[in-house]
Structure 1
Amino acid sequence: MNAPLPLKITREVATKAYDEVARVSNEVAGRLAARLAGETRGEVLFSGADRGRYATDASIYQIMPVGVFVPRDAADVKTALDICRDLAVPIVPRGGGTSQCGQTVGAGLVIDHAKHVRSIVHIDAAARTAEVEPGLVLDHLNTALKPHGLWYPVDVSTSAQATLGGMAGNNSCGSRSIAYGNMVHNVIGATAWTSSGDLLELGRYDAASAPARALGDYVKALADQLRPEIEAHWPKVLRRVAGYNLDIFNNQSEKPYTHDGSVNLAHLLVGSEGTLGLTRSLKLRLRELPRAKVLGVVNFPTFYKAMESAQHIVKLGDGTLTAVELVDRTMIELSLQNPAFAPTVKTALIGQPDAILLVEFSGNSKAELIPKIRQLVELMGDLGLPGSVVEMIDDAPQKNLWEVRKAGLNIMMSLKG
């Protein structure tokens, strides 16, 4: 085996490679902008100010893109894909930019779906499904579903900004994933363009078209080859959002991918962060809106105790437990410093807890749920924390507290330094 290169040489090589990429990018940027302007109806944004605005998201990361394209429709997205392939320019699909881990920043062409590519293609209330474009914001979908008594239950805290395409790319979870699962459990189909420009319809593996089936066969062979490694090292957890779902053929998570044990090729896209395909539409599984909810807010003297207690709390479910959500001391203190949130937060506190857990039960009536709160109170007493639960039976205080939790990103951004 050759000895590793000295650090200085490695840095020189990396710097030279970066400079070459930057030079090539500068050379093609003009052609890229000209072709996008001439062949599409979308907005072509290549000024320094526009690129700077899209160089970051809700994360701490910053990477200047070669340019930004805001398509008018799906046809514009396909044309942009073809142009980028011709010019060898990477693509960075973008939704609401709410990611805190930098998934929507990159040195390629940012394609912003959120402004125009955001239609609800179809709602089938009887089948409890909806087909949507990737730029649709979650709250906008749920507003349209409410008259049908339905909702999409991947309830992320940034629901007023987060797009369904971005949520699928990240395999988002949300507060109520204990009951309803992550994005991967609630996406039942997808249409997406591959890098070659082919449009694939991804759904059940056993009913796939020939091109999709060929893709599935390839991934299955890869997963079968790596099966011992996957079984040995894949995390066996309820919420896994680590990336590619190679285990769809041999599930390693606590929650199955599908309710009937089938394999769904759309699940390969979920969590891939735009690296495997460019989504045209998603088919989503909807749920019935809960008729009643009750909330128990458990106050803990230490953060560790809150974490340790969660494993016991989740056993209270019987199908009614829908959320166990943490609010730590940092968030509590920042909320108390904000006059808009302080009165609501105080209603949830007993003394000065180091952390609280929001434990929600949902069902057909409050009468059937109130005993679950009593069980929670008894459980905390058994765990050495009597008198630690604030019971919220009425809807208004529950709603107010969840709104504070959903404002968590904004509240955290107020942290000095």
Structure 2
Amino acid sequence: MRLIQEKSRKSINSKLQEELIKSIQGEVRFDDISRQMYSTDGSIYSILPVGVTIPSNADDVSAIIEICNKNNVAILPRGGGTSLSGQTVNSAVVIDFSKYMNKIIEINSDEKWVITEPGITIDNLNESVKKYNLHFTPDPSTKSRANVGGAMGNNSCGAHSIIYGKTVDHVKEMEVILSDGNKTNFSEISGNSLEYKLAQNNLESQIYKGVLDISDKAKSEINKRFPRVNRRVGGYNLDLIHPNSNKINLVNIMVGSEGTLAAVTKAKLNLEPLPKYTGLAILHFKDLIESMEATVAVLDENPAAVEHIGQMIITQARKSLGFSRNLDFL
């Protein structure tokens, strides 16, 4: 029975692979080596994907999603694969944005925004806007490899979230591909624009109606129960869908959704001026409790970041040739 099931699975996957190859300009990889390469990320998890696609443009993404939807196969958007919780591994068709869809489309230094594809790394994006004295502020420790699309999917923060907030605070608009393969744009809308969306007879209209229905029915519970902490990045941002106004912005629920709602093919991001001056203060404590108590007082000084480095990390760094030469001050 198991052998029959395996043959059936391979036959279905072969047909899916053929259909994808005929439909997109990018790459389609269903070989065992490629599947093994994409079966892991920065986490401890390992799950073989059905196959791997590497789109070259938004039309490719649309075709991939439409074909997988028709064949009842899950899709999994992926960037740098730096996630620590297994967000980029699953039994699905992986859509890798990092190879081809990594271009900056437009930079507006006067209005301080950039339009970019999702596959660019955060460091490369910031290198491109640095000449305008601007930067995209979410800065996870993996920013040299982490993609902007991944930052949006995870609602990444970084060390400087104390002053800059989370990724959701810096995404203005998105171009997305819905589950039916259709392309649309999400941004803040209200009034006639919202009424027009609601009057349509398509999936996008159903999404707006559904989200508004959930928001209206659960508004009091959402306001009462959602935790109000600075670095809350888990789960859907239901508290930001329709926050006590007649406006709605589906970008707010897309950010942090980990690719479960739609695939982002382009985004308009807010940029902040680079700080004119930076400084570093290093405080030494006897134990963890003492350092945590001091953090309360430190926050009163409005620092850009507060980082705790424990004894174990310092000890291991001293044993490393690469790090030990930089630890004379400790």
The question of a shared fold, defined as TM-score above 0.5 by the shorter chain, is answered with: yes
Match of 1:108 among 81, 92, 112: 92
8 Å contact from structure 2 (residues 26, 54) kept in 1: yes
* Cα displacement (A) at 1:21: 9.1
Letter in 2 for 1:310: T
Could you report, residue by residue, the CA deviation over 1:97-140 in whole angstroms, capped at 9, with x for unpaired residues?
Answer: 01011100000101111000111111111110111111111111
* Cα displacement (A) at 1:308: 3.1
Q: Which has the larger radius of gyration?
A: 1
Write the distance in 2 (CA, Å) between the matches of 1:46 and 1:329. 45
* Cα displacement (A) at 1:43: 1.5
* Cα displacement (A) at 1:261: 11
Write the distance in 2 (CA, Å) between the matches of 1:169 and 1:20. 38
Is the aligned partner of 1:176 residue 2:160? yes
Distance 1:22 1:276, change over 3 A: farther
Output aligned runs, 1:162-311, within 5 Å. Answer: 162-206=146-190, 207-208=193-194, 210=197, 215-249=207-241, 263-311=248-296
Match of 1:87 among 52, 62, 71: 71
* Cα displacement (A) at 1:215: 3.1
Letter in 1 for 2:130: K
8 Å contact from structure 1 (residues 205, 216) kept in 2: no
* Cα displacement (A) at 1:237: 0.4
* Cα displacement (A) at 1:310: 2.1
Is the aligned partner of 1:37 residue 2:21? yes
Distance 1:331 1:220, change over 3 A: farther
Distance 1:180 1:213, change over 3 A: farther
Write the distance in 2 (CA, Å) between the matches of 1:298 and 1:21. 61
Distance 1:346 1:243, change over 3 A: farther
Distance 1:331 1:35, change over 3 A: same
* Cα displacement (A) at 1:331: 2.0
For 1:364, the equivalent position in structure 2 comes to: none
Distance 1:82 1:300, change over 3 A: same
Is the aligned partner of 1:322 residue 2:304? yes
Letter in 1 for 2:165: G
TM-score (norm 1): 0.72
Distance 1:84 1:213, change over 3 A: closer
For 1:368, the equivalent position in structure 2 comes to: none
Which structure has more relative contact order (CA 8 Å, sep 6+)? It is 2
Letter in 2 for 1:304: I
Could you report, residue by residue, the CA deviation over 1:298-320 in whole angstroms, capped at 9, with x for unpaired residues?
Answer: 22222233233323321211xxx
Is the aligned partner of 1:344 residue 2:326? yes
Question: Helix, strand or coil for the counterpart of 1:344?
Answer: coil
8 Å contact from structure 2 (residues 62, 182) kept in 1: no
Question: Helix, strand or coil for the counterpart of 2:123?
Answer: helix
Query: What is the aligned-residue identity percentage?
Result: 34
Question: Helix, strand or coil for the counterpart of 1:68?
Answer: strand
Write the distance in 2 (CA, Å) between the matches of 1:19 and 1:186. 50
Letter in 2 for 1:183: T
Task: Report the number of matched residues.
Answer: 322
Question: Helix, strand or coil for the counterpart of 1:111?
Answer: strand
Write the distance in 1 (CA, Å) between the matches of 2:166 and 2:18. 40
* Cα displacement (A) at 1:184: 0.5
TM-score (norm 2): 0.90
* Cα displacement (A) at 1:85: 1.2
Write the distance in 2 (CA, Å) between the matches of 1:72 and 1:149. 30
Letter in 2 for 1:152: F
For 1:78, the equivalent position in structure 2 comes to: 62
Write the distance in 2 (CA, Å) between the matches of 1:310 and 1:345. 23
Distance 1:146 1:275, change over 3 A: same
Give structure 1 stretches of 5+ with no counterpart: 1-15, 253-259, 350-417
Distance 1:193 1:329, change over 3 A: same
Question: Helix, strand or coil for the counterpart of 2:280?
Answer: strand
Letter in 2 for 1:93: P
Write the distance in 2 (CA, Å) between the matches of 1:168 and 1:159. 13
Question: Helix, strand or coil for the counterpart of 2:235?
Answer: coil
For 1:51, the equivalent position in structure 2 comes to: 35
Could you report, residue by residue, the CA deviation over 1:268-294 in whole angstroms, capped at 9, with x for unpaired residues?
Answer: 100000000011111100011111111
Write the distance in 2 (CA, Å) between the matches of 1:141 and 1:19. 48
Output aligned runs, 1:363-374, within 5 Å. Answer: none
* Cα displacement (A) at 1:333: 2.0
Letter in 1 for 2:137: P
Distance 1:157 1:226, change over 3 A: same
Moved more, 143-152 or 214-223: 214-223
Letter in 2 for 1:294: G
Match of 2:107 among 116, 119, 123: 123
8 Å contact from structure 2 (residues 136, 272) kept in 1: yes
Match of 1:62 among 24, 46, 49: 46
* Cα displacement (A) at 1:86: 1.4
Letter in 1 for 2:52: V
* Cα displacement (A) at 1:92: 0.6
Distance 1:313 1:213, change over 3 A: farther
* Cα displacement (A) at 1:214: 5.7
Letter in 2 for 1:236: R
Question: Helix, strand or coil for the counterpart of 2:138?
Answer: coil
